[in-house]
Amino acid sequence: MKSIELFAGIGGIALAAEWAGIETVAFCEREPFCQKILNKHWPDVPIFDDIKTLDKKALEERGIDVGAIELITGGFPCQPYSVAGKRKGTEDDRDLWPEMFRIIEEIRPTWVVGENVANFANMELDRTLFDLESIGYKGRAFVLPAAAVEAPHERMRTFIVSHSNSVRRNDRGNNRQERQIQGERHRNDKKNQPEWFGRLDRAREVRAVFPNTNVERKGENYNQQFTGFCEEHRGRWAVEPDVGRVAHGVSNRVDRIKGLGNAVVPQQIYPIFETIMKIERGEITC
């Protein structure tokens, strides 16, 4: 399976996808420091620096077979929804879900996996799911903690997993306007919230939804992949990061802290990709 990752950061999602056997064929990431990390670990994968200009044509010009892309992933910016921010949601200029949705609509992958802060589930989750539904995707959301995969911090995150069957994927024209009208109607009707909308029982949810996954063994490779960030690796999770919280003249220290702070914990999202691959192999049903 081939994937493109939007808002890639330092590649936490791509690393988890790689563990599951998914090949990332393109990144979209604007921060120079994060681009350096991506280039180090995936030197042959092209990086696009502007989500607003990324489209099917731009991908094809870089030699990417768009028709082979079966998965689009992305941790779209969380500032509009984070409890640490002003929580303006769709009124925030940094709300880039519409750009991610535009790319999904144009490429039409089989799978879409999105990531955001936990508070996203209480603000704009319904809009996102109804947008996807309007173009033929069925989705579900999970609020999962990093602690569920034995990380020493809670780090709640909302993960959106959506799937489109081949019939709807191939439907490019006749019913698009009707689906968009239906999607808009849903977005304006708060009474139509999905039964799984809102905060879930996080600790049990990850085990119930993604049983029999081998997240723990994947953690052994995490430190090896990001050796540039820490000088020592004591066990799978460091108690405290070796990169300090205050910049004392060390080059890239602030960039490193920012990159790590925005990163997706690979072990946290890995069960989703492993389950997707099991579905694709016919081992389980969707």
DSSP string, 79-146: TTT-TTS---GGGSTT--HHHHHHHHHHH--SEEEEEEEGGGGGTTHHHHHHHHHHTT-EEEEEEEEG
| Least trusted range by pLDDT, from 14-23, 98-107, 115-124, 135-144 | 115-124
Is residue 199 situated within a structural domain? yes
| Least trusted range by pLDDT, from 16-30, 52-66, 142-156, 243-257 | 243-257
Is residue 100 situated within a structural domain? yes
Is residue 272 situated within a structural domain? yes
Is residue 285 situated within a structural domain? no
User: Higher model confidence: residue 25 or residue 188?
Assistant: 25
Catalytic residue among 28, 34, 78, 230: 78
Q: What percent of the chain has pLDDT over 90?
A: 46
Are residues 82 and 63 in contact, defined by beta-carbon separation less than 8 angstroms? no
Write the CATH number for 105: 3.40.50.150
Q: How far from 138 is each of 74, 141, 189, 240, 253, CA to CA, in Å?
A: 17, 11, 18, 40, 41
Return d(Cα 140, Cα 202) in angstroms, integer: 14
Is residue 40 situated within a structural domain? yes
Per-residue pLDDT, averaged over 107-134, amounts to 88
Q: What DSSP character marks residue 283?
A: S
78 is catalytic: yes
Domain count, the chain: 1
Q: Residue 250 sits in which domain range?
A: 2-280
Task: Give me 172's structure tokens.
Answer: 């490019």
DSSP states of 165-210: -HHHHT--STTHHHHHHHHHHHHT-GGG--TT-S---HHHHHHHHS
Is residue 213 situated within a structural domain? yes
Average pLDDT for the chain = 75
How many residues does the structure list for the chain?
Answer: 286
Is residue 247 scored above 90 in pLDDT? no
Is residue 286 situated within a structural domain? no
pTM above 0.75, yes or no: no
Q: What DSSP character marks residue 264?
A: P
